[in-house]
Amino acid sequence: MRHAGGVFAWEQSRAIIDIGSNTVRLVVYGGPPRAPVTLLNEKVTARLGKHVAETGRLSEKAAGGVLRALSRYKALLDLAGVGRVDVVATAAVRDATNGADFLERVREIGLKPRLLSGVEEAETSATGVLGAFPDARGIVGDLGGGSLELVDLVDGSTSHGVSLPLGSLRLPAMRAKGDRAFVRTIGKMLAGADWVAEPGVTLYLVGGSMRALARAMMVRLNWPLEDTHGFTLPAEKAMALSRLLARRGQPLKPIEGVSANRLASIPDAAALLGVLLQQLQPGRVVFSSWGLREGVLFGSLDAAVQREDPLLAGVLAFTGPMAVDTALLDAAVRWMADVVPLAATPLGRAALALCLAAGRVEPNLRRDLASDWGLRKRWVGVDDAGRAVLAAALRASAGKGQTPAAGADPWVRLAPPEALAEARGLGLAARLCRRLSAGALAVIEQTRLSREDDRLSLSSPVLHLVGEGSSRDLRELAQHLGLGISG
């Protein structure tokens, strides 16, 4: 499997096998190290931890299912020539009295499993959150099938990691004892772990059941996005939705993208979140699709690569095959930065790269790029407001730069009007740059967009470079900015 420049070559990819309490999953990653792209994501729901919670042992049936899945994964990876494979096992194997015997059987397949301690699991998941949100500060809560990991994030590092027996497979039996007993039990576990949070911090939520909960919340809110990664709610709103979704005896309607097993876990995950919100008193919650597996990846990177902006790394890898690289982007930023300061920021650079790449797309497909690239494509290192900026810029660059009627675009709920206005300005400037230069680096370097007082000017030492279409784009940009035109 190859892509331009070998970016998606199997031999350059990396695989993570995660032997969890609920599922065993294989994910193969390609693309740039700082913003990996998922080439393959396959799982088997083995519920390895269910029997452990009941008897303390891995059942032979569940273990056999996992071993068959691992044998398939090993054969697939060998034939594909995947360069590196990491295998990690978590709570179910860690807690089982026959966990060591199970790991020996995994080694007989030819894999090299690493059993994570509770603290290692917590800190690795938190490292994944740091990879997705470089400025993250607060608490990470990773809900797996067998355990809940909690860890502090401060100044780019993790600390105070704990693992509690509160996995999604254990919650139904705990809730069956009543809501008051459920709250008391969790409170005692937090106190026993000496866990005290600073009120008002951010609570980052990780794990399949938490993502399913996020999707249910998004459906309730008629949210304009489908991707749960980066979905953010004030704590008060998260509490209200958690109480609503935690009610028992009211089956949830099917949700697109949520399996039946995950759908069934939503009420218990909501109940757990409600207690965590009470006990930890965060100011907001942020859902993260990056967790344990991505923490393994991110933690192995060189410090210089870790410092790269993940959004820009992902966007440039995406636009590279469309002939939009760093050199072209840098030139376009210099070309418009005096007029559109947003272009010089990491988010603005990402938006500009996408707008330039939109010029390589068939015109009849461009009208959907604001949704497809801005709102729906999986980017890392951007929040919902940032996605709205990407979408608004792409919409403008496609020839739809006028301020929309209230509520006309789905992303108007996600960012302040002034941020969307800046984004539309960037999109209009990008369209002018594209039309003027045909997306050619040499042409961009021979022209300049500038502002002097309350007027825009477009200068070039080359005569007749500004055509009718470019003049029209310049007028629309000036009108949007409330400026006149020189010359």
| 280/335 same-domain check | no
Q: What is the pTM of this model?
A: 0.90
| 175/315 same-domain check | no
pLDDT of residue 463: 57
Mean pLDDT of the chain: 91
What average pLDDT does this structure show over 413-430? Answer: 96
pLDDT of residue 402: 46
What is the C-alpha to C-alpha distance for residues 16 and 39, in angstroms, rounded to an integer? 12
Residue 299 lies inside a defined structural domain of this protein:
no
| 145/288 same-domain check | yes
| 379/416 same-domain check | yes
Residue 364: pLDDT over 90: no
**Residue where a domain terminates, one of 115, 150, 179:** 115
pLDDT of residue 4: 38
Give the percent of the chain with pLDDT over 70.
96
| 172/265 same-domain check | yes
Contact 347, 311 (CB under 8 A): yes
Residue 230: pLDDT over 60: yes
pLDDT of residue 8: 58
> Looking at residue 255, which CATH number applies to its domain?
3.30.420.150
Residue 270: pLDDT over 80: yes
| 11/25 same-domain check | yes
pLDDT of residue 2: 43
| 159/260 same-domain check | yes
Of 2-6, 201-205, 245-249, give the range with the top mean pLDDT: 201-205
Number of domains in the chain: 3
What is the C-alpha to C-alpha distance for residues 203 and 196, in angstroms, rounded to an integer? 13
What average pLDDT does this structure show over 132-140? Answer: 93
**Residue where a domain terminates, one of 293, 318, 333:** 293
> Looking at residue 417, which CATH number applies to its domain?
1.10.3210.10
| 373/397 same-domain check | yes
Residue 129 lies inside a defined structural domain of this protein:
yes
What digits encode the pLDDT tens for the residues 94-118?
999 999 999 999 999 999 999 999 8
What average pLDDT does this structure show over 342-357? Answer: 97
Residue 302 lies inside a defined structural domain of this protein:
no
What is the C-alpha to C-alpha distance for residues 198 and 162, in angstroms, rounded to an integer? 16
Q: Which domain holds residue 21?
A: 4-115
| 70/31 same-domain check | yes
| 184/213 same-domain check | yes
Residue 304 lies inside a defined structural domain of this protein:
no
pLDDT of residue 332: 96
Residue 389 lies inside a defined structural domain of this protein:
yes
> Looking at residue 18, which CATH number applies to its domain?
3.30.420.40
Could you tell me the pLDDT band of residue 6, with boundaries at 50, 70 and 90? very low
What digits encode the pLDDT tens for the residues 384-410?
999 999 999 999 999 754 445 545 788
Q: Which of 37-41, 293-297, 362-366 has the lowest mean pLDDT?
A: 362-366
**Residue where a domain terminates, one of 115, 141, 175:** 115
| 67/165 same-domain check | no
What digits encode the pLDDT tens for the residues 58-86?
999 999 999 999 999 999 999 999 989 99
Residue 303 lies inside a defined structural domain of this protein:
no
What average pLDDT does this structure show over 454-463? Answer: 80
| 197/230 same-domain check | yes
What is the C-alpha to C-alpha distance for residues 38 and 13, in angstroms, rounded to an integer? 10
What average pLDDT does this structure show over 425-451? Answer: 92
Residue 332 lies inside a defined structural domain of this protein:
yes
Of residues 210 and 469, more confidently modeled: 210
pLDDT of residue 188: 92
What is the C-alpha to C-alpha distance for residues 3 and 9, in angstroms, rounded to an integer? 7
Contact 477, 429 (CB under 8 A): yes
Residue 40: pLDDT over 70: yes
- Identity of the residue numbered 184: R
pLDDT of residue 3: 42
Residue 460: pLDDT over 90: no
What is the C-alpha to C-alpha distance for residues 116 and 113, in angstroms, rounded to an integer? 9
Instruction: For the chain, state the CA radius of gyration.
Output: 25
Residue 300 lies inside a defined structural domain of this protein:
no
pLDDT of residue 401: 44
Residue 1: pLDDT over 50: no
